[in-house]
């Protein structure tokens, strides 16, 4: 999981900064959704892929101080 757009990175940082005003606010990073997650099935199909994904999620949550992820993934045949 990666944030590859500077505008998205800035938006996440702004959202997380709102936690200073509202400590109960939770910020989740979302993957998938309307456009789907084209690489999810391939990544999640192997132990190595799942391990790399989980490490990347952990690193992003730490970097942005986000509270979790929302994963919208449909299995493709």
Q: Which single residue is written with the structure tokens 């989740």?
A: 28
Return the domain boundaries, the chain.
6-72
pLDDT tens for the chain, 77 residues long, are 889 899 999 999 999 999 999 999 999 998 876 666 777 788 888 999 999 999 999 999 999 999 999 988 766 55
Cβ neighbours of residue 36 closer than 8 Å, sequence gap 6 or more: 72, 73, 74
Residue 33 structure tokens? 């959704």
Q: What pLDDT, on a 0 to 100 scale, did the predictor assign at position 34? A: 64
Q: What pLDDT, on a 0 to 100 scale, did the predictor assign at position 42? A: 84
* Cα dihedral 11/17/18/24 (nearest 10): 120
Q: What pLDDT, on a 0 to 100 scale, did the predictor assign at position 16? A: 97
């Amino acid at each position: 999981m990666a944030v590859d757009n500077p505008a998205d990175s800035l938006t996440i940082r702004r959202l997380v900064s709102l936690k200073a005003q509202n400590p109960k606010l939770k910020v989740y990073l979302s993957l998938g959704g309307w456009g789907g997650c084209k690489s999810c099935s391939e990544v999640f199909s192997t132990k190595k892929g799942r391990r790399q994904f989980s490490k990347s999620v952990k690193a992003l949550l730490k970097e942005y101080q986000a509270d979790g992820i929302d994963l919208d993934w449909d299995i493709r045949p």
